[in-house]
Copies of this chain bind each other. A is one copy, B any other.
């Protein structure tokens, strides 16, 4: 196993130097060939996927797990379309971030460059395999992919089909590596290969992410969870605020940018809370409240300490009445997950304070938390939403999959 991993990462590093030479046109043509290959091999992919589904049913995995695992005609078309969409995005590689000339004549350029080799660790969805291959290839990074053991047949066939497509395009190296050895040790060994792997992106539940962070000597960019807040300030457009709260909670409660907590300024609480409950009741949202909220809204459940940290991903929301914006900001910074938080206010100064002092990737003013998304930001496809502060924060598109280098050109200058 040790030799298998060491050979794999060395090959990946060598391949990264070859991939760095490909220009955008070449990369886009290959992405199109990969996209076509998925469609051309649909039957073979569905056949292998059926094996995973059968095994999952035998292993009594949950229906929602099997849903995520299942490919069908529509999903394979979406996977193919994603690869073509990525081909259409602007290539960040080689773009100058800044350029200037120093008094001694040195021309200094900070230029976007590939990170190198990126390990992605994920769980059940086989479409993640082709999505990651597309984004990493377009940003000139070599992908090492480790999917969940329950989707192994699907991942293998997707890898095989795309490898074939790459070979047919005349490339003499592999731009991605699928780690299909089911042994858990493979991950442990990979996480120590900091000389050959530049970045790890874990995509999955909290247990997986903690394991990666605790064991990796490679930099990790992660997304722990989305405990998103809305703060209703004392002066607020009530109608808009109600619409935003409902949208943020009910439009898609299972995703990380759905609102989980609503904080209401004490001066707005008495009139706003009954109106809010009235709206949320229409969608059967379960409300939990702090003691002050419970006094205003009779009959709701009482929030416990752990509720303030909880990511429900369900039609549940916890509401708290706060003294002022200071308490709202402190609460969000302490209990939140630094993902996305929104203030609803007519007060411009409070909006400024909120966006300056709330320590989150996305600080919103007068909009739904649901807008925290790469597509909504105009970044194109995203590989995830980072709740980290280093390198990438918030939605991660192609640019966030790059590093930079300093290219400095002169004409014989020496340092005195």
Chain B residues near A415: list those with CB within 8 A: 247, 251, 368, 370-371, 376
Please give, as numbers and ranges, the residues of chain B lying within 8 Å of A403 by CB-CB distance: 389-390, 393
The 8 A CB mask of A215-244 against B (1 = contact, 0 = none) is 001011100000000000000010010011
Contact status A108-B377, CB under 8 Å: yes
Nearest CB on B from A385, distance (A): 10
- A372-416 CB mask vs B (1 if < 8 Å, else 0) is 100011100000000011110111000000011111111111111
Interface contact A106-B404, CB-CB below 8 Å: no
Say if the beta carbon of A213 comes within 8 Å of chain B: yes
Contact B410 A366 (CB under 8 A): yes
In the complex, per-residue mask of A346-369: 1 if CB is within 8 Å of any chain B CB, else 0: 000001000111011111111110
> Is the CB–CB distance between B362 and A406 below 8 Å?
yes
Residue of B nearest to A20 (CB): B357
Instruction: Tell me, yes or no, whether A333 is within 8 Å of chain B by CB.
Output: yes
Q: Does A21 contact B (CB under 8 A)?
A: yes
Say yes or no: A406 contacts B356, CB within 8 Å.
no
Docked Cα-Cα span, A116 to B388, in Å, equals 11
Residues of B within 8 A of A115 (CB): 389-390
Residue A199, interface by CB 8 Å: yes
Pick the residue among B371, B377, B390 that contacts A219 (CB under 8 A): B390
Q: Are A240 and B412 in contact (CB under 8 A)?
A: yes
Task: Give chain B nearest CB distance to A172 CB in angstroms.
Answer: 15
Q: A116-B359, A414-B368 are in contact. Are A390 and B198 (CB under 8 A)?
A: yes
Most B CB within 10 A of own CB, among A237, A243, A357, A403 = A403
Question: Which residue of chain B lies nearest to A358 when distances are taken between CB atoms in the complex?
Answer: B405
A248 to B194, CA, bound (A): 30
A111 to B358, CA, bound (A): 13
A283 at the interface (CB under 8 A from B): no
How close is A351's CB to chain B, nearest CB, in angstroms?
A: 7
Compute how far the CA of A411 lies from the CA of B237 in the bound complex, rounded to whole angstroms: 10
List of B residues within 8 angstroms of A366 by Cβ: 409-413
A377 cross-chain contacts in B, Cβ below 8 A: 102, 108, 406, 408
Q: Does A330 contact B (CB under 8 A)?
A: yes
- Cα A20 to Cα B354 in complex, Å, equals 12
- Cα distance, A406 to B342, chains bound together (Å): 11
A94 at the interface (CB under 8 A from B): yes
Given contacts A17-B359, A405-B393, contact A414 B370 (CB under 8 A): yes
In the complex, the answer to whether B244 meets A367 with C-beta atoms within 8 Å is no
CB <8 Å contact, B356 and A21: yes
Interface pair B412/A365, CB less than 8 Å apart? no
- When C-beta atoms are compared, the residue in chain B nearest to A210 turns out to be B217
Q: Which residues of B contact A116 (CB under 8 A)?
A: 359, 389
A214 at the interface (CB under 8 A from B): yes
User: Which residues of B sit under 8 angstroms from A102, Cβ to Cβ?
Assistant: 376-378
B359 touches A414 (CB 8 A): no
Q: List B contacts of A361 (CB < 8 A).
A: 405-406
Give the shortest distance, in Å, between A356 (CB) and chain B (any CB): 7
User: Given the interface contacts A356-B94, A391-B390, A415-B368, does A405 sit within 8 Å of B247 by beta carbon?
Assistant: no
Output the least CB separation between A97 and chain B (Å): 9
Q: How far is the CB of A235 from chain B (nearest CB, A)?
A: 14
Least CB separation from A220: chain B residue:
B219
Contacts of A351 in B (CB 8 A): 409
Q: List 14 A-B contacts (CB under 8 A).
A: A17-B330, A20-B356, A100-B378, A102-B376, A108-B378, A115-B390, A219-B220, A221-B390, A237-B412, A355-B407, A363-B405, A364-B409, A366-B412, A370-B414
Interface residues of A (CB under 8 A from B): 16-17, 20-21, 94, 100, 102, 106, 108, 111, 113, 115-116, 194, 198-199, 213-214, 217, 219-221, 237, 240, 243-244, 247-248, 251, 329-330, 333, 351, 355-357, 359-368, 370-372, 376-378, 388-391, 393-395, 403-416
Given A199-B390, A365-B409, A390-B391, 4 further pairs, Cβ under 8 A: A17-B359, A198-B389, A244-B412, A395-B406
